[in-house]
Amino acid sequence: MVRDARTRTLTLVDDLDDHQLFMPKSPIVNPYLWELGHLTYFYEAFLLRLLEDREPLIKDGNDLYNSFEVDHDDRWNLPLPTRTGTLEYMQRVYDLALARLEKGDPGPQETYLYLLAVLHEDMHGEASMYMRQTLAYPEPQLLTSSEPVLSGPWPGDAEIAGGTFQLGSTPDQPFVFDNEKWAHPVEVPPFKIAKAPVTNTEYAAFVEDGGYLEYQLWSYQGKKWLAKSGLQHPIYWCRGGLGWLRRHYDTMVHLEVNAPVVHLTYYEAEAYCRWAGRRLPTEAEWELAATAVPGSESWTKRRYPWGDENPGPEHANLDARYGGCVDVAAFPKGDSAYGCRQMMGNVWEWTATPFYPFPGYLVDYPYVEYSAPWFGYPKVLKGGAWATRSRLARPTYRNFFPHVRNDTFAGFRTCAI
């Protein structure tokens, strides 16, 4: 996993020139050069220096790369190493991390720290892909399938009886983050949830009906965002002579009619739901629909929608296999027990649930800043996107973004009112 994560990281930046690695200041994304140093510093600080009595490998590394010590706007003003110096730092830390593993099987603490570092790098790998989209850089040079997955829509709702559901992760999972601990009972009333995420076609109907101009559809905060953004459609859409186009990295493509709508804020998802007479699912509803087995008195819970088998190419659009979103009816082998499709992969899905800790939450050492500073404002997103690594994605994983983020690979599915 260490080798695989690092190969992916380097592939995502190999084709970028020095100017692209340190682009002009952005309110949304970090300089790539800083990102590379940061994820490497994470291995050094949260793995090597915790397991070994070792001096820092780079002078003032904490003042350069600790994301909670260096404000976003200051990351363009730091005395960062050059591209060559950054790559040399990455190689030194990588070699030391592999050398420890070559000594023998790691124990529980060491295993946890390695997984933490790898999954952190995976998160930044996904961020690197949506950073390239934000900056209109070329599509990353990953080995992806050239065959489009054309399978159509997947309409209708799954009807779920409700009951007492165990929301969250259990200790038998190989790795969990602190905000997933631990599974606890929640009462979920009966509900109906869409079998698939909202498609581009469905969302285009909202846009063409003047949804961005009908202020009564938007919350107070949504109106403020809408006025500030000036948008009248999703951020990367534009009108073409033959219909809607969208920008895919640095290229304009025809809008894929049956793919899920993506790059939406929470406010856009919320407004669409009001227009459609629907609502966003709660986190508990979403996770229940993804993992519960109907007809079980104790609500037997699967590790993944399809069962306990690890994600494979037949289950979900993960690991950037197709370089983007696919039709919402694809991957029937990944269905949940209720027939909900693509609850893993394709797009992260906004829920109506604010990001708060579960009962009995305790900060996980050593990454004490992972969740605690963010509680209260972001919304929970579930399921993983096409660029998410399959070793990270699982139904109990809680992603969280501020309402205004539309640079990420986020879409949504709806519930009946």
Residue 147's pLDDT is 74
* pLDDT above 70 for 298: no
Q: What is the mean pLDDT of residues 84-95?
A: 97
Domains of the chain in start order, with CATH, are: 2-134 (1.20.120.450), 145-417 (3.90.1580.10)
Given a cut of 60, whether residue 390 has pLDDT beyond it is yes
pLDDT value for 145: 79
**pLDDT at residue 364, rounded to an integer:** 85
Element (H, E) at 109: helix 108-134
- Specify the pLDDT at position 365: 86
Count the Cβ atoms, other than its own, within 10 Å of residue 178: 18
pLDDT at 132: 97
Nearest to 396 by CA among 246, 106, 172: 172
Q: pTM of the prediction?
A: 0.96
Token couple for 190: 């009966």
Residue 167 has pLDDT above 60, yes or no: yes
In whole angstroms, what is the distance from residue 182 CA to residue 41 CA? 29
Q: Is the pLDDT of residue 157 over 70?
A: yes
* Mean pLDDT, range 349-358, rounded to an integer: 98
What pLDDT is recorded for position 190?
95
- Cα atoms in the Cβ-side hemisphere of radius 13 Å centred on 331: 30
Spatial distance between the Cα atoms of 185 and 16, rounded to a whole number of angstroms: 48
Across 93-100, average pLDDT? 97
Q: Answer whether residue 381 shows pLDDT above 60.
A: yes
Query: For 359-370, how does the pLDDT look when each residue is reduced to its tens digit (9 = 90+)?
Result: 999 988 899 999
The torsion of the CA quartet 210, 216, 221, 225, rounded to 10 degrees, works out to 20
- Residue 10 CA to chain centroid, in angstroms? 20
Mean pLDDT, residues 137-149: 85
pLDDT at 84 over 80: yes
Distances (CA, A) of 130 to 23, 72, 78, 206, 410: 15, 17, 24, 25, 11
pLDDT of residue 37: 97
Q: What is the DSSP string of 123-182?
A: HHHHHHHHHHHHTTPPPP------S--------SEEEE--EEEEES--TTSS---GGG--
Amino acid at 353: T
- pLDDT of amino acid 54: 87
Rounded to the nearest integer, the mean pLDDT of the chain is 95
Please give the single-letter amino acid code of residue 17.
Answer: D
**Which of the pair, 406 or 26, is modelled with greater confidence?**
406
**Cα angle for residues 325, 134, 352 (degrees, 5° grid):** 60
**How far apart, in Å, are the Cα atoms of 262 and each of 203, 233, 375, 378?**
10, 12, 25, 18
Looking at residue 296, its pLDDT comes to: 56
| Full strand arrangement of the beta sheet holding 410-411 | 399-401, 379-382, 348-354, 410-411
| Mean pLDDT of all residues in 90-115 | 96
Confidence of residue 297 (pLDDT cuts 50, 70, 90): low
pLDDT at 259: 97
User: How does strand 184-188 pair with strand 163-167?
Assistant: antiparallel
Beta bridge partners of 188: 163
pLDDT-derived band at 101, boundaries 50, 70, 90: very high
Q: Contact at 8 Å (CB) between 344 and 307? A: no
pLDDT per position as a tens digit, 273-287:
999 999 999 999 999
